[in-house]
């Protein structure tokens, strides 16, 4: 009887799984990989196309979306998804993979960090987006409707931007939904980066979700963000870590045959403290990314353009330098460093 029930359930799941899967102009039949574009229509400013690959696996299973390039100069994460487009074969996949390698094409084309140069907006702060807004809002809206709403899980990939000397880490969001949080925690640990920042203060309102990962999480989809790469050049190891991480999560979700043991000794970061520039000037770092600092450790100095000291910078708390400014250019208010405060065992 049990065997019969399982057979019926399997039959039904195969029958109810969609024969084809469409994102934007890409429609893949079962067992196919199709490339296309998510079209952001013209509005108060120009239209543009976001490249997308749809891999509709030979076997049914969950839908995983992987998005990179919200910041179009975080190159290692973009190259990682480019590599995944070739690496993932539909014959090996149970479920469906949506790959969006470059969400913010204008930033990439014009080599502008942090924002979309068309409207000056950060493309990971305006979710769920707005179909009548400026380009960043319309692009976010298209991603929400076609990628987030169609997926079961989402991974948002980032890295150190042109001005950030960053060590790799993931973010794990605590939504308060215990079951969902356990699943996303399992995904983060399977991904493989040992440093995990615990986010407890993400918006809870799906209509004001701000971040991409949070847009999926507030819609009940276990998801997370990971970062690797830094300040321009693509280090093959950084891109590789992100490629392997995504494949690990696919193994963990049983979307492909692949062992994905959880990180053995995760380093949980319970809080981020940032150091910001108090005035315009020139930045001279005193520590590298990944430095373990005590409270009061000198991390750098800001001078004027004639090398006269303006601001001495110290770590506000003990922790790990997750990223430090990679370039001397500095304007008042810029983030100079992010220090992760490590959660103590048992706390």
Q: Which residues bind Zn ion (CB under 5 A)?
A: 71, 74, 158
CA dist 80 to 86, 160, 236, 237, 304, Å? 11, 14, 9, 10, 38
- Report the run of H or E that residue 267 belongs to, with start and end: strand 267-276
Least distance (Å) between residue 223 CB and Zn ion: 15
Distance, in Å, from the CA atom of 236 to the CA atom of 76, rounded to the nearest integer, reads 8
Q: Judged by CB, which is closer to Zn ion: 118, or 225?
A: 225
247-269 in b/e burial notation, b at 16+ Cβ within 10 A? bbbbbbbebbeeebeebeebebb
CB of 112 to Zn ion, least distance (A): 13
Which residue is at the shortest CB distance from Zn ion?
A: 158
Check: CB of residue 112 under 8 Å from CB of residue 72.
yes
Q: Which is nearer to Zn ion, 152 or 238 (CB)?
A: 238
DSSP 13-39: HHHHS-SEEEETTEEEETTEEEEEEEE
CB of 119 or CB of 156, closer to Zn ion: 156
In the complex, the smallest distance separating the C-beta of residue 237 from Zn ion, rounded to whole angstroms, is 19
| Smallest separation (angstroms) from Zn ion to the CB of 269 | 17
Of 122 and 177, the one with the shorter C-beta distance to Zn ion is: 122
Instruction: State the CB neighbour count (10 A cutoff) for residue 86.
Output: 9
Picking from 302, 299, 319, the residue whose alpha carbon sits closest to that of residue 311 is: 302
**Shortest Å distance, C-beta 122 to Zn ion:** 9
CA pair distance 5, 46, nearest whole angstrom: 54
Nearer to Zn ion, 119 or 213 (CB): 213
- Distance in Å, CB of 21 to Zn ion, minimum: 27
Cβ proximity to Zn ion, 162 vs 314, nearer residue: 162
Enumerate the H helices of 192-261 as residue ranges. Answer: 212-217, 236-252
CB of 314 to Zn ion, least distance (A): 26
Q: How far apart are the first and last CA of the chain?
A: 48
Q: Which is nearer to Zn ion, 74 or 163 (CB)?
A: 74
Nearest approach in angstroms of CB 158 to Zn ion is 3
Name beta bridge partners: 36.
52
Whose Cβ is closer to Zn ion: residue 160's or residue 281's? 160
**Residue 8: exposure state from Cβ atoms within 10 A (0-12, 13-18, ≥19):** exposed
């Amino acid at each position: 009887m049990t065997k019969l029930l399982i057979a019926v359930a399997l039959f039904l799941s195969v029958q109810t799984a969609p024969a084809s899967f469409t994102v934007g102009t890409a429609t893949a039949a079962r067992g196919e990989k199709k490339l296309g574009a998510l079209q952001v229509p013209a509005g108060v400013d120009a239209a543009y196309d976001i490249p997308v690959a749809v891999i509709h696996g030979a076997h049914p299973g969950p839908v995983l979306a992987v998005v990179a390039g919200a910041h179009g100069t975080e190159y290692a994460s973009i190259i990682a998804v480019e590599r995944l487009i070739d690496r993932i074969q539909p014959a090996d996949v149970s479920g469906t993979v949506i790959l969006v390698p470059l969400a913010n094409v204008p930033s990439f084309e014009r080599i502008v960090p942090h924002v979309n140069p068309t409207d000056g907006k950060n493309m990971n702060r305006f979710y769920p987006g707005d179909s009548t807004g400026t380009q960043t809002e319309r692009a976010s809206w298209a991603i929400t409707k076609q990628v987030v709403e169609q997926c079961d899980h989402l991974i948002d990939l980032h890295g150190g931007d042109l001005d950030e000397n960053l060590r790799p880490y993931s973010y794990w969001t605590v939504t308060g939904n215990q079951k969902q949080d356990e699943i996303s925690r399992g995904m983060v640990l399977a991904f493989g980066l040992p440093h995990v920042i615990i986010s407890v203060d993400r918006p809870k309102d799906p209509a004001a979700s701000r971040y991409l990962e949070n847009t999926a999480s507030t819609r009940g989809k276990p998801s997370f963000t990971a970062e690797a790469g830094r300040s321009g050049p693509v280090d093959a190891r950084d891109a590789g870590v992100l490629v392997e991480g995504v494949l690990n999560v696919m193994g963990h979700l049983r979307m492909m045959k692949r062992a994905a043991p959880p990180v053995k000794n995760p380093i949980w970061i319970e809080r981020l403290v940032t150091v910001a520039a108090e005035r315009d000037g020139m930045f001279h770092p005193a520590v590298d990314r990944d430095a373990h600092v005590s409270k009061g450790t000198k991390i750098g100095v800001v001078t004027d353009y004639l090398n006269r000291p303006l601001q001495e910078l110290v770590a506000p708390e003990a922790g790990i330098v997750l990223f430090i400014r990679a370039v001397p250019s500095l304007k008042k208010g810029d983030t100079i460093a992010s220090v992760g405060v490590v959660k103590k065992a048992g706390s």
